[in-house]
Amino acid sequence: MSEPKKKVLRPIEAPFVVLGPSGVAIRDCLKHLADEDDKVLRLVGEHLGRLASADLKDRCVDGLEHDRDSWAARKQGLTSQSSPRWAGSITRATHDQWALSRRCQLARIQGLEAGVRTLKHRLSQKIGAKGTKRAPGGYRSKSEWFHKSRRLATLEHRLDSVLGERDAGVVHVVRGGRRLLGNRHHLDKAQLTEAQWRQQWEAARWFLAADGESGKRFGNETIRVAPDGEVSIKLPAPLARLANSKHGRYVLASQVAFTHRGAEWRDRVEDNRAVAYRIHLDVERGRWYLTASWTRPVVQMIPLATARAQGMIGVDTNADHFAAYHLDVHGNPVGDPRRFFYDLSGTADHRDAQVRHAISQLLHWAIRCGVNAIGIENLDFTAEKTREKHGRKKWFRQLLSGMPTGKLKARLVSMASERGLSLVAVDPAYTSMWGDQHWRKPLNSTKRKMSRHDAAGIAIGRRALGHPIRRRTAPPHDDQSDRRGHRTAQAGPGDRGREGTRPPVTERAHDARTRTGRQRTRATSASNTVRDARSSRSWQQMSLLNTV
Q: What is the pTM of this model?
A: 0.74
Beta bridge partners of 410: none
Within its chain, how far is the Cα of 362 from the centroid?
14
Give pLDDT, residue 135.
78
135-170 pLDDT per residue, tens: 788 888 999 999 999 999 999 999 999 999 999 999
Q: Which residues of the chain have pLDDT under 70?
A: 1-8, 133, 298-300, 379-406, 472-548
Q: Contact at 8 Å (CB) between 234 and 83? A: yes
Give pLDDT, residue 161.
96
Helices (H), 276-401: 304-307, 348-369, 394-401
- Closest residue by Cα to residue 18 from 299, 283, 391: 299
Beta bridge partners of 287: 282
| CA pair distance 433, 137, nearest whole angstrom | 21
- Closest residue by Cα to residue 75 from 85, 65, 64: 85
Using CB atoms within 10 A of its CB, is residue 352 exposed (0-12), middle (13-18) or buried (19+)? middle
304-465: CATH class = alpha beta
| CA pair distance 339, 398, nearest whole angstrom | 22
Give pLDDT, residue 54.
95
Give pLDDT, residue 354.
86
| Domain extents in the chain | 23-295, 304-465
- Residue 465 contacts by C-beta under 8 Å, 6 or more apart in sequence? 308, 311, 312, 327, 329, 331, 375
Give pLDDT, residue 12.
85
- Closest residue by Cα to residue 220 from 283, 170, 271: 271
Using CB atoms within 10 A of its CB, is residue 458 exposed (0-12), middle (13-18) or buried (19+)? buried
Give pLDDT, residue 364.
95
- Residue 58 contacts by C-beta under 8 Å, 6 or more apart in sequence? 74
Neighbours of 544 (CB within 10 A): 9
How many Cα atoms within 13 Å fall on the side-chain side of residue 494? Answer: 0
The C-alpha torsion from 255 through 258 and 263 to 266, rounded to 10°, is -40
Q: Contact at 8 Å (CB) between 16 and 425? A: yes
Helices (H), 125-186: 142-168, 178-183
Q: Contact at 8 Å (CB) between 191 and 72? A: no
